[in-house]
Amino acid sequence: MKQKIIIGPWSYLTGAILLAILNTLLFAVMHTPWQITTAITYWAAWILKFFGGTPENWHYFANSASRSEGLSQHFLSNNLSLMNLGVILGALLAVLIASQFRVKKIKSPKQIIAALLGGIIMGYGTRIALGCNIGAFFSAIPSLSLSGWVWGISAFIGAWIGSKLLIKYLL
C-alpha cells in the first residue's frame, strides 16, 4: 500500500483524473485555472525592480490591468506566485516522504548550456504564446479555448524538432 501510493509512480490515468479534479477546484476557488509562467515573469520582474529596473513601463505590463496589478504585488501576496510556491513545496514534500530526495550534480558543461539556452527559449516562448503547457494548453482546452488546440499542435511540432536536436547534441 505504502509502496504503491507514496513511493511508486502513479499511472497516467490516475494522474490525469487527479489533475482534472484539482484544476476544477482551483478554478472554482481562484476564478482562474492553473498556470505557471505568468508568475515566473512576475518573479523575474520583481527581481529587476529590486535592483532598480522599471519593468512597469514595459509594454507587456503597462498595457494590461491584470499584469500591472500583478507587478505591484509581491512574492507572497500574488495568487499566481503562491500557486507556483505550492507546486514547488508539494513536489519537495512528496519526494521527501518517498525518501527519494537528492541533490543532482552537473555532469557536463553541455548540461549547463542546454539548461540555460532551453530556459531562455522557453521563457521567451511562453510570453509570445501567452503561456506554457499548463496555462495555454492543459487549462485552455477544458476552457473550450481554440488557442489550446493551436498551442498543442505547435508544441507537437516543436517537441519533434527538439527531440532531433536532443539526440544530435545531448546524447
Partner 1 sequence: MAEVRLDCLFEACPIPLIKTMQRLKVLNQGDVLIVETDHSCATKNITEWVGKQKLLCQVVEVSNGEWEIYIKKVR
Residues making contact with partner 1 (CB under 8 A) = 9, 95, 99-102, 104-107, 111, 163, 166-167, 170-171
Query: What separation in angstroms does the CA of 29 have from each of 24, 33, 34, 147, 154?
Result: 9, 9, 11, 24, 31
Closest CA to 60 of 77, 42, 43, 73: 42
Letter for the amino acid at 166? L
Cell numbers describing residue 153: 499542435
Nearer to partner 1, 103 or 146 (CB): 103
The minimum distance between CB 31 and partner 1, in angstroms, equals 33
The minimum distance between CB 73 and partner 1, in angstroms, equals 33
Nearer to partner 1, 4 or 107 (CB): 107
The minimum distance between CB 107 and partner 1, in angstroms, equals 4
Nearer to partner 1, 59 or 107 (CB): 107
The minimum distance between CB 159 and partner 1, in angstroms, equals 11
Can you say how many angstroms the Cα of residue 18 is from the centroid of all Cα atoms in its chain?
Answer: 18
Q: How far apart are CA 10 and CA 63, in angstroms?
A: 43
